[in-house]
Amino acid sequence: MAIKDLETEKRNPNTMHIDTMSTLEMVKTINREDQKVAEAVGTQDAKIAKAIDLASANYRQGGRLIYIGAGTSGRLGVLDAAELVPTYGIKPERAIGLIAGGKGAMYVAVEGAEDSEELAQKDLRDLNLNKKDIVIGLAASGRTPYVIGGLNYASHVGAVTIAVACVKDSKIGQVAQVPIEAVVGPEVITGSTRMKAGTAQKMILNMISTGVMIRQGKVYQNVMIDVLPTNQKLVDRACRIVKAVTGVAKEKAEKILHQADKNVPLAIVMAKTGLPVAEAKKLLAGHHDSVSEVLKEK
């Protein structure tokens, strides 16, 4: 299919005269179009869930979340990787964003970089890609050579491969284990895929990475519990988390947190079960550090 015939490149009949609309009418029109995004993403629920399950299993074995893309798609991947580090306290090397053209392409387009399959293969080889890793290829058009090359190389290595596109029967979807295709329709501004397509990709990445972190035991109930209390403010936050999810008094939460060497998941298990440090630690280790799994048995 020619680029001009892709859904992401067609003209939107609802915005043909957006340039002559009042500002309020313009805003309302954009908002109406944005409302279609969540619906399009919703059609991919089963595939997103499959992506989370496959990625979670590999991540638990030490694999890395590696995002590859060009332009807006590449920037969204870099953003998702970067935000996981402070949000869930993971090591920076466990979530990596690759954008065609390198770091400079985050700010200035690097001409021709997205057209090279070999460049993506080199970028992944430089990371020593292995079969435990997870490669998420992002391309609104579903046909970016850089992403196709990266997914092909990842498949050859044996890594989990996930494709995120905004067209049906995408080329990147054909070379990935899990093809996610949220068809959001023509953009408000023709071809400006940083809009609806970008929003859809961001939503999908939010679900995948959040789901993977939940499956790693980083969340108990709906609270982020893998806090690293490196200063007094964070120690206080850790104490409040233990108190909130276990119902114990503040003084007891402080005492248990101290006994757990400021390890919040461990402190929660101790507070909920009454177990000493060693036994609680053993239980957590036997359940992939998932507080929820431990407490199901107690």
Q: State how far the Cα of 62 lies from the Cα of 14, in Å rounded to an integer.
A: 47
Q: Is 7 a catalytic residue?
A: no
What is the rounded distance in angstroms from the CA atom of residue 258 to the CA atom of residue 264? Answer: 10
In this prediction, residue 122 carries a pLDDT of: 96
In Å, what is the CA distance from 16 to each residue of 30, 135, 189?
12, 38, 9
Q: What is the pLDDT along the chain (298 residues), one digit of tens a residue?
A: 677 778 888 999 999 999 999 999 999 999 999 999 999 999 999 999 999 999 999 999 999 999 999 999 999 999 999 999 988 989 999 999 999 999 999 998 887 889 899 999 999 999 999 999 999 999 999 999 999 999 999 999 999 999 999 999 999 999 999 999 999 999 999 999 999 999 999 999 999 999 999 999 999 999 999 877 878 888 899 999 999 999 999 999 999 999 999 999 999 999 999 999 999 999 999 998 899 999 987 6
Could you tell me which residues come within 8 angstroms of residue 199 by beta carbon, excluding any fewer than 6 positions away? Answer: 34, 37, 184
Neighbouring C-alpha atoms within 13 Å toward the C-beta of 144 = 27
Give strand pairing partners of 96. 66
Per-residue model confidence (pLDDT) at position 109: 82
Catalytic-role residue among 7, 33, 114, 181: 114
Phi, psi of 219 (to 5 degrees): -130, 135
If you count them, how many residues does the chain have? 298
CB 80 within 8 A of CB 205: yes
The two three-digit tokens of residue 21, written as one number: 């609309």
What structural domains and CATH numbers belong to the chain? 3-215 (3.40.50.10490), 219-297 (1.10.8.1080)
* Cα dihedral 98→143→175→165 (10° resolution): 80
Residue partners of 298: CB distance under 8 A and separation at least 6: 272, 273
If one counts every other C-beta atom within 10 angstroms of the C-beta of residue 261, the result is: 11
Provide the strand spans (E) within 47-126. 65-69, 95-99
Whether 55 and 134 have beta carbons less than 8 Å apart is answered as yes
Query: Cα dist. 141→153, 181, 195, 197 in Å?
Result: 20, 10, 13, 9
Q: What is the pTM of this model?
A: 0.92
Residue 1 pLDDT? 66
SS3 category, 178: strand
- pLDDT value for 298: 64
User: Is 111 assigned a catalytic role?
Assistant: no
Q: Residue 189: CB partners within 8 Å, gap ≥ 6? A: 15, 18, 195
| CB contact set of 16 (below 8 Å; sequence gap of 6+) | none
Q: Token match 């909920």: residue?
A: 272
